[in-house]
Amino acid sequence: MVVSITPSSSSPTRSPVAYEFGPFRLEPAEQRLTQDGRPVLLPHRAFEMLVFLVERSGRLVTKEELLEGLWSGLFVEEGNLSQNVFLLRRALTNGPADPGYIETVPRRGYRFIGLVTKLPAEPGSTSTRSSEPSPQGPANRTFRLRRAALAVAGAAAVLLGAGVSVWLRRQPAAPPAAGVRSIAVLPLKPFDEAAGDGLLGLGIAEAVVSRLSRRPSLLVRPLSSSRQAMLAGSEAAAVGARLGVDCVLEGMLQRSGGRVRATVELVRVRDRRVLWSDSFEEPAAEAFHLEDSISERLVGALGQEIGLPLNRRKGRPMPANQAAYDSYVRGRIYWNRRGASDLERSVQELEEAVRQDPNYALAWSGLADTYVLLGPSSTDGFPRARAAAEKALGLDPDLAEAHASLGFTRFFSDWDFAGSERELRRALELDPGYATAHQWYAYWLAAAGRFEAAVAEMQRARDIDPLSLVLREDVGHILIYARRYPEAIAELRQVMSLDPSFSKLRIYLVQALLLAGRYDEAAGEIRRLDGWPDDVQVRAWDARLAAARGRVEEARAFAPKVLAAGAAGTLPPDGVAVFYGILGDKDLAFTWLDRAFRERRFYLVFLNVDPGFDALRLDARFAGLVRRVGIPS
């Protein structure tokens, strides 16, 4: 049910007076707040509250005065006051040491405590909101009436009648700008940290990202990138600038009277202007339904108001209960961290989610994603990934993540090139903004020898998720397969400058330097690898460097340790084969490659393109192995 309340009169006419406090200038008649000359954007009702408090600075303003002055004649909960005070304090903060301008008087009200100077507004001043009508004439009066009515509708009272679900909507504070083509979504923040709504805020953000990223014309940053960007500060426009997007979607959750209210705003990064905002409510016992209702409304609103085509696909499948939803969100959080222990925790949470709701397709898809990452290092990871992906697709055949995981499994475990490409391409059709699907398809293209397409696909994944070091590392890895060593070295060094502890990346850098003949640089990087000089895999790079420099006997002296590591399983059989191929011992190299084939080592899909196998490539046995793996010519 939609509640729309029309006020009896427009906002009061104000004289051209301005107020200054600290770095801020407030001009009520112009609906303008600036900080050091730069506009500060506020929702309409929060702006009105600021004017109300500043005009009464230094004295206590009771809650009753505020409710009567701002919501006269309407039934409104006190939560509206605290929510707007929260927004004002966030907008007026001047850093961690700032005591704030608004003092809370417990159980009474609020007091504006900043030193305020009252002065005439500048002659000829006009609003910074260039898309609004000018302050004169009938058009402006109509606009002000419309804005007042819509603002009141946005603050409408909650209907508490049995079975009534209320959607509170406030129309745009200003017409949205054209040309918005990139968005970041931030986790919704709980108004009260003690309410424990952090998981709900993350889940809502993930749902919005999932829905919006299906639009090929809209670039949507993954939630993992948005959360990483927030580590340097959570102010929406600053996060958006770090992510290089046009707009940022942020919001807040608040519990009141057995219900959960979510308020969301779309903020334009370049001028911090609020282009669009909405409020929504659901019963607290069914809070997980808020995720789908918000994402559905937002997709529609963004499509209509920012010129993007509407996404008419159905919403994401919802769980049967809150416990399944919470376990799913926790599982996704651990999955995004990608560490071995995090993946194990992810499995535990997602298995609990499907135990709570066996028909929860998203949880099955999450399990498939997790088992895929565990697959190369476990005996049952790929079979479990396949089963979970097929279960998810049986429940919902349009889950892009499940198609991607099934494609990954068919590629690396089944060596089914045709089937895996079909699944990966289907994932990208369903969700063009899914960076992981672009990443995995890039590796498929590289294995098939389509290097230009592979590099472009991996760069697309990096463009979607620019803060992901893994994706940037993978760009360098693909460039190695393409024999573009100088470009690979430049890319990998750039990523290394961001995180010198990224040991896997350093191995790729060592490989690129060796292949480029830059032996001294390679030697320096080998000594920076984790585990040097005791780890056998690390020392094997020392031996490969010696062989590349023509010191074959020095490299051969390390062969017994390589054999022992291969027999113990600490060095993969394909790695042992590469080592003996470099030494020129082809018979032993093919003995280990046959073992890799029997064990269905996932890395054999790259036989045709990995430079490590170049020493064996002209042997007839190598061509036979390529055919047995099924790599397309």
CATH number (domain holding residue 210) = 3.40.50.10070
Do 30 and 128 lie in one domain? The reply is yes
What is the count of structural domains for the chain? 5
345-359 tens-digit pLDDT: 999 999 999 999 999
Percent helix, strand and coil across the chain, each to the nearest 5: 55, 10, 35
Q: Is residue 139 domain-resident?
A: yes
Looking at residue 313, its amino acid is: R
The predicted structure's pLDDT at residue 439: 96
In sequence order, what DSSP letters do the residues of 392-434 get, joined into one string? Answer: HHHH-TT-HHHHHHHHHHHHHTT--HHHHHHHHHHHHHH-TT-
Q: What is the pLDDT of residue 376?
A: 82
Whether 12 is in a domain gets the answer no
Q: Are strands 109-112 and 182-185 parallel, antiparallel or unpaired?
A: unpaired
Could you give phi then psi for residue 225, rounded to 5 degrees? -65, -40
Residue type, 584: G
At 443 the three-state DSSP class reads: helix
Rounded to the nearest 5 degrees, what angle is found at the Cα of 354, between the Cα atoms of 348 and 357?
A: 145
Helix 63-70 to helix 79-92 angle, to the nearest 10 degrees?
Answer: 90
Helices 435-447 and 417-430 cross at an angle (nearest 10°) of: 150
194 belongs to a structural domain: yes
> Do residue 260 and residue 281 come from a single domain?
yes
Instruction: Return d(Cα 424, Cα 402) in angstroms, integer.
Output: 10
Question: Whole-angstrom Cα distance, residue 571 to residue 18?
Answer: 73
Find the Cα–Cα–Cα–Cα dihedral 411, 417, 420, 426, rounded to 10°: 150
Phi, then psi, of 307 in degrees rounded to 5? 80, 15
Per-residue pLDDT band at 307 (split at 50, 70, 90) = very low
CA atoms within 13 A of residue 18's CA, in its CB half-sphere: 17
pLDDT recorded at residue 302: 64
* Residue position matching structure tokens 């370049």: 270
pLDDT by residue (tens digit) across 506-565? 999 999 999 999 999 999 999 888 776 668 888 889 999 999 999 999 999 999 999 999
Calculated CA dihedral for residues 36, 40, 46, 51, nearest 10 degrees: 30
Is residue 3 assigned to a domain?
Answer: no
Which of 316, 351, 385 is the endpoint of a domain? Answer: 316
Residue 189 CA, chain-centre distance (Å), reads 15
Bridge partners, residue 253, by sequence:
190, 262
Rounded CA-CA distance 543/561 in Å is: 11
pLDDT (tens digit per residue) in 369-424:
999 989 887 888 999 999 999 999 999 999 999 999 999 999 999 999 999 999 99
Residues 96 and 114 in one domain: yes
Residue 438 pLDDT: 96
Q: Of 266, 287, 316, which marks where a domain is finished? A: 316
Name the 3-class secondary structure at 11: coil
Give the contacts of 360 (CB within 8 A, at least 6 positions apart): 317, 319, 320, 324, 328, 353, 354, 395
CA atoms of 613 and 625, how far apart (whole Å): 12
Domain check: are 311 and 387 in the same one?
no
Kindly state whether residues 107 and 120 are assigned to the same domain. Answer: yes
- Provide the CA 122 distance to its chain's centre, in angstroms: 43
**What are the tens digits of pLDDT across the range 134-159?**
333 333 322 232 333 333 334 333 33
CATH of the domain at 56: 1.10.10.10
319 preceded by cis ω (within 30°)? no
- CB 323 within 8 Å of CB 356: yes
Residues written for the chain? 633
Is 168 contained in some domain? no
Instruction: Catalogue the E-assigned strands of 106-193.
Output: 109-112, 117-120, 182-185, 189-190
Spatial distance between the Cα atoms of 298 and 247, rounded to a whole number of angstroms: 14
Same domain, 424 and 438: no
Going by C-alpha positions, the residue among 489, 496, 443 that lies closest to residue 469 is: 496
Give the up-direction half-sphere exposure of residue 455: CA atoms within 13 A in the CB hemisphere. Answer: 12
Separation of alpha carbons 463 and 479, rounded Å: 16
Same domain, 139 and 217: no
Q: Which of 539, 512, 517 is nearest to 526 (CA)?
A: 539
**Pairwise CA distance, residues 48 & 42, whole Å:** 9
Helices (H), 279-321: 289-305
| Sheet-wide strand order for 38-39 | 38-39, 32-35, 24-27, 17-21, 117-120
Distance (Å, whole) CA 113 – CA 97 = 16
pLDDT value for 43: 73
166 is a domain residue: no
Average pLDDT score over the chain: 80
Owner of token pair 């032993």: 588
Q: What is the DSSP letter of 358?
A: T
Same domain (yes/no): 37, 112: yes
Q: Does one domain contain both 550 and 519?
A: no
Predicted pLDDT at 101: 86
pLDDT in tens, 85-113: 877 887 886 543 344 688 888 778 899 98
Distance in angstroms (rounded) separating the CA atoms of residues 142 and 11? 11
**Shared-domain flag, residues 130 and 62:** yes
CA 633/CA 625 separation, integer angstroms: 13
Q: What is the pLDDT of residue 105?
A: 82
Res. 116: pLDDT tops 80? yes
Q: Which among 505, 517, 515 has a CA at the least distance from the CA of 614?
A: 515
Q: Which of the residue ranges 74-78, 195-199, 258-262 would you say has the lowest mean pLDDT?
A: 74-78
Residue 58 pLDDT exceeds 70: yes
Indicate the SS3 state at residue 255: strand
Q: Which pLDDT belongs to residue 345?
A: 93
Does 165 reside within a domain? no
Q: How far apart are CA 589 and CA 559, in angstroms?
A: 12
What pLDDT shows up at residue 78? 60
Summarised one tens digit per residue, pLDDT across range 482-508 is 999 999 999 999 988 887 777 778 999
Q: Rounded CA gap, 591 and 574, in Å? A: 10
Q: What is the CATH number of the domain that holds 447?
A: 1.25.40.10
Residue 2 lies in a domain: no
What residues make up the domain containing 535? 531-633
Among 478, 493, 526, identify where a domain stops.
Answer: 526
At residue 255, what are phi and psi to the nearest 5 degrees?
Answer: -100, 140
Same domain, 213 and 276: yes
Residues 86 and 139 in one domain: yes
Within 10 angstroms of residue 396's Cβ, the number of other Cβ atoms is: 17
d(CA 291, CA 289): 5
283 — pLDDT class (breaks 50, 70, 90): confident
